[in-house]
Amino acid sequence: MSSALAVYLTNEAPAAHWNPKSNVVFDGDAAKIVLVDDESENLRRIQKAGRTLDNNGLVKVAVSGDGWDMERQWALYQGFTSTLSKNDVVWHTGDAEAAKHLDAMRDATRFSRELTNLPAEDIYPESLAERVIEHFKGLAPDAISAEFIKGEALKDAGWMGIYTVGRASQHAPGMLVLDYNPTGDDNAPVDTALIGKGITYDSGGYSIKPSEGMLSMKCDMGGAATVTGALSLAIRRGLNKRVKLILCCAENMIDGRAYKLGDIIRYKNGLTVEVVNTDAEGRLVLADGLQAAGEFGAKNIIDAATLTGAAQMAVGNEYNALFSVDDSAAARALKNADKEHELLWRLPLASWHSENCPSAFADTANSRPQKGGGAGGASNAAGFLLRFAPEQGKGWLHFDLAGAYQKSATAMWATGATALGVRTIAATVQGD
């Protein structure tokens, strides 16, 4: 304990030699976080204090004194977490049950963040699948089986979205199907399918991104990392339902085999899609995942993706965006986000959004031929996915992860992945 800086909570205003707006002050070999009357603001103040402690060069702190509940400790951890995950928080010794839950959240979100933050040289479709399989076989070895369909086998299986987007890369595209089945019954129904966009690097293809836009595109598999972390956390919390994890993995690169604007993709369900923007590739791979979820007969379907800049423009980098045509499913997700203290906002999605990317040459286009997909880009992207969602979208939730990655450090977050959404999706998988 002596190697960690003790961090206390206080309701006393800072001493006169401190700025009265300071949210954390140092007092000898300890730090004190100054609270206010608003608890939601307190959680923000505590997280910001964690960033201050990290910025001051600390690598280990200990939660000390009175007033710490689980959420306050978690807020400190989120702020204090460094980009390279080298910082450590010692949980309060007075609440063993809270420490158990905090350990589960820390381990699951750390894995999610590490997957997202690793460079594309290390995380490509097959290596992503290998790391995820290894993680779950270490976590629940008797309940896990997995298959990775890659390269030409994708084409043979009819998964043309993933195949088309990823065929230009030296790293073969693939679909990981991981089955978590704790029931012991091979015929047990699939309660939930979790689908993640696993674009391990996104150059934009022939609709190429500018250099500054490509710098952070190792994070375009943040959806895959988020649903992976969510399943990991749900298992640690005692999940006893069968869940299929479907990761749609590809590098969106350019060579002589790359898909081009004007190409037509024919999907397994017969739908044809004209490519009007090769940088709107995430929805093309998720379409395969949604069809796979339908084949598995999943009762509930959740997909997560760093899908559109339009969602970020709408909700900023502090929230994730939620889309669904199932009001009861959306209400459950929003309730869980509130319970888990994660920011989530529902944006519009109606059945007619699926018609908002018309094509003269195919059933639909993958976007509009305008910058960012034009007005309503995030809803139109969700509308595209709705075409592939089983049961006309009943039981389906689409998370557009606007808050999954910070390109630079903020007052709340270190640079890189945040794992925002892991807790909400884990709670939604577990159900009431």
Catalytic residues: 209, 283
Distance in angstroms (rounded) separating the CA atoms of residues 158 and 132: 24
Parallel, antiparallel or unpaired: strands 243-252 and 174-180: antiparallel
Helix (H) or strand (E) holding 70: helix 70-80
Cβ–Cβ under 8 Å, residues 293 and 193? yes
Helix (H) or strand (E) holding 295: helix 282-295
User: Nearest to residue 371, comparing CAs of 304, 313, 317?
Assistant: 313
Burial class (CB in 10 A: 0-12, 13-18, 19+), 363: middle
Tell me which residue has tokens 């669904």. 324
Parallel, antiparallel or unpaired: strands 320-323 and 174-180: unpaired
Parallel, antiparallel or unpaired: strands 320-323 and 24-27: unpaired
Distance in angstroms (rounded) separating the CA atoms of residues 214 and 208: 9
Parallel, antiparallel or unpaired: strands 264-266 and 243-252: unpaired
Q: Which amino acid is at 405?
A: Y
Cβ–Cβ under 8 Å, residues 148 and 134? no
Q: Which amino acid is at 322?
A: L
Distance in angstroms (rounded) separating the CA atoms of residues 81 and 58: 11
Q: Which residues pair with 398 in a beta bridge?
A: 303, 323
Measure Cα distances from 114 to 51, 130, 316, 424 in Å: 19, 14, 23, 19
